[in-house]
A and B are shown apart, each in its own frame.
Chain A
Amino acid sequence: MTPESVSHLQRVLERAARILRIGALVNGALAGLILVLGIIGALRIFPDMFATLHRLLLFNTPGADDATVTGAMLLALLNLSLLLVLGVGALARETWTLAALFALALANLGALIGLGYTLAPLTIAFALYTLYVILRDRIARGAFRPNPVMIKELRGRMRGVRAFVVLTVYLSLMGGFAMLLYLIYSTAGRDPGSAAAGEIGRVLFNGVFAVELLLIIFIAPAFTAGSITGERERQTYDLLRTTLLSNASFVIGKLESALGYVMLLLLAGIPLQAFAFLFGGVSETELLLSLTILVITAITLGTIGIYFSAGNERTLNASVRAYSTTLILLFVVPSVISLILAVLNGFLFGVSGLFPYAPLEAVFVYLSHFLTSINPLAAAVTTQNLLVTQQIAGFYPFTLSVDGTTIPLASPWINFSILYTAAASILLTLTIRAVRNLDERELPHTV
């Protein structure tokens, strides 16, 4: 490529990224609008607000009006996150971006036809227009490629015996753990398919999930927190900056390589989880939802790590901040606030509550529900409970204690996925901005 085509490519990519960012903003604005209208509807100022919104937004979806409207808002939020991520992916010239843009358009088309999601055409238009901008340009079209940083990192990480030792130790620990669980519970009964065997299957499944989740919580931020600071500490950062590697490629490459390794660990654990099927008592839906939660957790925690890596001089500081943020976010915030909410809830709305006002109770319920969704473990446990006891994986009505009316709640994995995806997409955007600011700042220098 000549210097001129390099500048040209940059302009095309920035244009594509800008279109996707605008698409994300539009979706965000619409989600906000639905939220405001929903609140107005909940206050019962306009009696048929929800019914109208239901007809307008998701005309082909059966179900309660209020639940459908909430669903429409969540869909807009999901589109927002995905468009943001794809904007970064386009800047980074990731090959998967092109496929994902197409898939996003297709999925929205599906939502339009299947659910009657009338906001889908917006996202379809943004995705297809971006594809058009990229694909009609010969240089831009040819510039999408495997990420060099990812290849470099994975080469290093997979080299020699270390990677195999880690994987082997991990699998033996998991295997041993599963065996132990089996031994403890096997006294209960041996007939496959019996209730007792199903119990073993469930315990096995949950145990493996818990261990994998713990692993992700400790590995994902660690792998990414050193990614940018490490380059600076080794004085290779300036070398990279004088190449044509963009900040977006750099950040995405680092993230991909860290996640690639985590995914490998998750994949290696699947046979163990599937082992639980032999005993029965676990459904495919459970396996699918648990994997969704694990993957999304890994992505978001990895993004937290890389965000702090961009904002700190040293790996140590970045790691400490990434871990403390993760722990506070995952454990302190949900537990402390839920506790406070639970106490207040009984106090205000209980049988002889002080303040029996339904909309306020609804806000409380939503808040504590939302908090459950911050912690992947809590989200997983609640999701599983709903699935096992009531066969619910989507929306369900919740009866308020004040006046017996119902409000729609989503199974926590839905909130969790959307919340975490949104957080990851926003953090990713912020990280790239932070890297750019880093370049402007002067590094301490010795002659």
Chain B
Amino acid sequence: MTDMIIVTKDLVKQFGKFTAVNGLSLQVPAGSIYGFVGPNGAGKTTTMRMLTTLTRPTHGEAWVAGHSVTADPRAVRRAIGYMPDEFGVYDDMRVWEYLDFFAACYDIPENQRKPLISDLLELVDLTHRRDDMVDKLSRGMKQRLSLARTLAHDPSVLILDEPASGLDPRARVEIRELLVELSKMGKTIFFSTHILADVSEICTHIGIIEAGQMIAQGSMNDMRAQLQPHREITVTVKDSDAAALVRSTLESFPGVIGIKDLEPKGGRSLVRIDYSGDDDGVAAMSGAINGAGIAVLGFNEETKDLEAIFMRVTKGIVT
């Protein structure tokens, strides 16, 4: 089993009578890019505020990098970089001073801060704005500066609340690329979003939250498998003889659940295979067909997009 760097157990947060987070159990593997997806008001921000020690859970427990958020909040703070959904602006600060201040708040000695700030600015591509006032930056730049701030103390986990919200498409892509880069540097990234494109592009894991409850979570592949009973692979061949050959070749192939001829299209024959195996199996299958000497014109897996999965999962619970 991989190490879990964020674990929550039956996490509950109530505001008066209202339950914002309701028995949430979450596991984020170390090194993953974890998309925390859910509609507005689902409880994403509240969950993150508990993980970042800003709010105490009403019930339940959460651990980040092995430290309990209630018993040892300072150790948790040392381990995380947090970016809230609102950008806090100091209107009377320069870009480098902003980073210098937060680095100092993380007890980074003064002689290490200068090189650190250069590195961070380089990473988020703001070197040329080093001496500008923070409130003169564009929204996308502020977001990147925020991200640089979360990295000041070299945390192992980044907890980012809607990092791409309110950005134009270009800035959004830049942030996404940055997240991938940070992940390559070995950081675990736990971010919330209600935009599915963010998730399908870069995430290795996702968790779907709805009305304070976890509906589904796991690796992207598991999620697809779990939500789609089987894969559908369509093989295109020259004629019906070749189609018959495909059928006989794959009949006894392990994991094949069903084989069906489809309506010929443009004079070509199509065979649909229902398959329950994994990616390696798909590759083996394609090898088997080629090995049988069949001239294959097309071999496609139909992927259900995440949007469809999301709609199916949250159906009926959306309030």
Which residues of A have CB within 8 Å of B82?
A: 239, 242
Q: A3-B79, A234-B88, A236-B88 are in contact. Are A243 and B105 (CB under 8 A)?
A: yes
A143 and B104 alpha carbons, distance in the complex (Å) = 11
Which residues of A have CB within 8 Å of B40?
A: 447
Q: A242-B54, A447-B40 are in contact. Are A3 and B65 (CB under 8 A)?
A: yes
Contact with A along B39-56 (1 / 0, CB 8 A): 011000100000011111
Interface residues of B in 55-91 (CB under 8 A from A): 55-56, 65, 67, 72, 74-80, 82, 84, 86-91
Is the beta-carbon distance between A3 and B78 smaller than 8 angstroms?
Answer: yes
- Is B93's CB within 8 Å of the partner chain A? yes
Contact with B along A87-115 (1 / 0, CB 8 A): 00000000000000000000000000000
Secondary structure at the A interface, as helix, strand, loop or mixed, is helix
A151 and B93 alpha carbons, distance in the complex (Å) = 12
Is the beta-carbon distance between B102 and A243 smaller than 8 angstroms?
Answer: yes
With both chains docked as a complex, state the minimum distance between the C-beta of A257 and any C-beta of chain B, in angstroms.
Answer: 12
- Is B168's CB within 8 Å of the partner chain A? no
A20 and B67 alpha carbons, distance in the complex (Å) = 30
- Is A152's CB within 8 Å of the partner chain B? yes
Is the beta-carbon distance between A6 and B84 smaller than 8 angstroms?
Answer: no
Which residues of B have CB within 8 Å of A156?
A: 90, 92-93
Which residues of A have CB within 8 Å of B102?
A: 239, 243
Total residue contacts A-B, CB cutoff 8 A? 89
- Is B107's CB within 8 Å of the partner chain A? yes
Is the beta-carbon distance between B90 and A238 smaller than 8 angstroms?
Answer: no
Partner of A244, one of B72, B77, B91, B101: B77
With both chains docked as a complex, state the minimum distance between the C-beta of B262 and any C-beta of chain A, in angstroms.
Answer: 47
Is the beta-carbon distance between B90 and A242 smaller than 8 angstroms?
Answer: no
- Is B97's CB within 8 Å of the partner chain A? yes
With both chains docked as a complex, state the minimum distance between the C-beta of B93 and any C-beta of chain A, in angstroms.
Answer: 6
Of the listed residues B65, B89, B92, the one surrounded by the most CB atoms of chain A closer than 10 A to its CB is: B92
- Is B253's CB within 8 Å of the partner chain A? no
Contact with A along B92-129 (1 / 0, CB 8 A): 11000100011011110100000000000000000000
Is the beta-carbon distance between A240 and B79 smaller than 8 angstroms?
Answer: no
Is the beta-carbon distance between B15 and A234 smaller than 8 angstroms?
Answer: no
- Is A433's CB within 8 Å of the partner chain B? no
A249 and chain B: residue at smallest CB distance? B105
A244 and B41 alpha carbons, distance in the complex (Å) = 29
Interface residues of A in 429-447 (CB under 8 A from B): 439-440, 442, 447
Is the beta-carbon distance between B75 and A1 smaller than 8 angstroms?
Answer: no
Which residues of A have CB within 8 Å of B93?
A: 152, 155-156
Is the beta-carbon distance between B84 and A244 smaller than 8 angstroms?
Answer: no
- Is A284's CB within 8 Å of the partner chain B? no
A243 and B104 alpha carbons, distance in the complex (Å) = 9
With both chains docked as a complex, state the minimum distance between the C-beta of A243 and any C-beta of chain B, in angstroms.
Answer: 4
Instruction: Classify chain B: how many residues form its interface, as a range.
Output: 35 or more
With both chains docked as a complex, state the minimum distance between the C-beta of A285 and any C-beta of chain B, in angstroms.
Answer: 41
A5 and chain B: residue at smallest CB distance? B78
Is the beta-carbon distance between B106 and A243 smaller than 8 angstroms?
Answer: yes
- Is A4's CB within 8 Å of the partner chain B? yes
Is the beta-carbon distance between A242 and B53 smaller than 8 angstroms?
Answer: yes
B46 and chain A: residue at smallest CB distance? A445
Which residues of A have CB within 8 Å of B86?
A: 235
Is the beta-carbon distance between A159 and B107 smaller than 8 angstroms?
Answer: no
Of the listed residues A2, A3, A145, A447, the one surrounded by the most CB atoms of chain B closer than 10 A to its CB is: A3
Contact with B along A130-155 (1 / 0, CB 8 A): 00000000000001010010011001
A2 and B87 alpha carbons, distance in the complex (Å) = 27
Is the beta-carbon distance between A242 and B77 smaller than 8 angstroms?
Answer: yes
Which residues of A have CB within 8 Å of B45?
A: 447
Is the beta-carbon distance between A242 and B52 smaller than 8 angstroms?
Answer: yes
With both chains docked as a complex, state the minimum distance between the C-beta of A438 and any C-beta of chain B, in angstroms.
Answer: 12
Is the beta-carbon distance between A3 and B104 smaller than 8 angstroms?
Answer: no
Which residues of A have CB within 8 Å of B79?
A: 3
A159 and B97 alpha carbons, distance in the complex (Å) = 12
Can you list 17 A-B contacts with CB-CB less than 8 angstroms, sorted by A residue number? A145-B109, A148-B104, A151-B104, A155-B97, A156-B93, A234-B88, A234-B89, A234-B90, A236-B89, A241-B53, A242-B82, A243-B102, A243-B106, A244-B78, A439-B54, A440-B56, A442-B55
Identify the 8 closest CB pairs spanning chains A and B, nearest first: A236-B88, A148-B104, A3-B75, A243-B105, A156-B92, A3-B78, A245-B105, A235-B88
What is A's interface to B at a CB cutoff of 8 Å? 1-4, 6-7, 10, 143, 145, 148, 151-152, 155-156, 159, 234-245, 439-440, 442, 447
